[in-house]
Amino acid sequence: METSKIPSHVGIIMDGNGRWALLRGEKRSYGHRAGTANVEKITEHAFKLGIKTLSLYAFSSENWARPKEEVDELMRLLETYFKKFLKKVEKEKLRINVMGDTSVLSAKLQKIINKAVETTRANDVGVINIGLNYGGRQEIVYAVNKLLKENKEITVENISENLYSAEFGEPDLIIRTGGEIRLSNFMLYQGAYSELYFTDVLWPDFDEKELDKAIDAFSKRHRRFGKVEES
């Protein structure tokens, strides 16, 4: 694979866990467990390929409307994920960041998240940027309110610079698994010129080969950013 065509920042909407479980006669939470294991696998492969930032949509501001049992299981999985992978992430000099309003999460989960974010802050091999209680519209409102409070002008650049994960820039590529063709409130502002890749493959089945396919499709796109000539 041509390294110049490897996207630096990739966003992933990890959809299809529930259907993957139901197809196997299991509960939806079984799918979320398989989905969490897949996060580990795909993250490893992505950084090996040379991707620098992976933004993963783990829990949207709208996901609270799911049955309590499912929400509780997702929160438990996130706790385990942050605790279990912290050592590995530290060893590999990866950085964990969380974008979204984490203030409503349990005190225990907030503490685990803060530890992961703080202890990996200086790592520079790659960034795992996790959307948690995240919404793209809410993020834009957050940035605008911040500017208003600071008495700053509302401009395109100022909004960009005040988004939750402004320092990681815009995704070059956004992948959505699970067959739906929409963004579902994910990185709406930063995604203005992202290349989009949709696949029917359900998230727990989205393996290394599927990521290679998405990168390959990206490498054939001509990004013009609204201009006529190729960039």
Residue 211 engages ligand FPP in binding (rule: CB under 6 A): no
Place of tokens 């100022």: 158
Residue 174 engages ligand FPP in binding (rule: CB under 6 A): no
Count other Cβ atoms within 10 Å, centred on residue 66: 16
Member of 10, 46, 77, 105 binding ligand FPP (CB under 6 A): 77
Can you tell me the distance from the alpha carbon of 203 to that of 227, in angstroms, rounded to the nearest whole number? 34
Is 151 labeled as catalytic in the residue annotation? no
Q: Residue 69 has which token pair?
A: 């049992």
146 phi/psi in degrees, rounded to 5: -65, -45
Ramachandran category for residue 184: left, alpha or beta (phi over 0 → left; psi -120 to 50 → alpha):
left
Is 63 labeled as catalytic in the residue annotation? yes
For the window 93-122, what string marks contact with ligand FPP as x by the rule CB under 6 A?
------------------------------
Residue 89 engages ligand FPP in binding (rule: CB under 6 A): no
Residue 171 engages ligand FPP in binding (rule: CB under 6 A): no
15 phi/psi in degrees, rounded to 5: -105, 150
Place of tokens 């279990």: 84
Place of tokens 């309003």: 101
For the window 19-58, what string marks contact with ligand FPP as x by the rule CB under 6 A?
x--------x---x--xx--x----------------x-x
Query: Which residue, 6 or 116, has its beta carbon nearer to ligand FPP?
Result: 116
Residue 73 engages ligand FPP in binding (rule: CB under 6 A): no
Would you say 106 and 75 are in contact if contact means Cβ atoms under 8 Å apart? yes
Query: Which residue, 186 or 218, has its beta carbon nearer to ligand FPP?
Result: 186
Residue 15 engages ligand FPP in binding (rule: CB under 6 A): yes
- Beta bridge pairs of residue 95: 127
Residue 18 engages ligand FPP in binding (rule: CB under 6 A): yes
CB of 178 to ligand FPP, least distance (A): 5
> For residue 216, what are the CA distances in angstroms to 3, 6, 213?
11, 9, 5
Would you say 226 and 193 are in contact if contact means Cβ atoms under 8 Å apart? yes
For the window 121-160, what string marks contact with ligand FPP as x by the rule CB under 6 A?
---------x------------------------------
Can you tell me the distance from the alpha carbon of 220 to that of 224, in angstroms, rounded to the nearest whole number? 13
Catalytic residue among 38, 63, 97, 158: 63
Residues that bind ligand FPP (CB under 6 A): 14-19, 28, 32, 35-36, 39, 56, 58, 63, 77-78, 81, 130, 178, 203
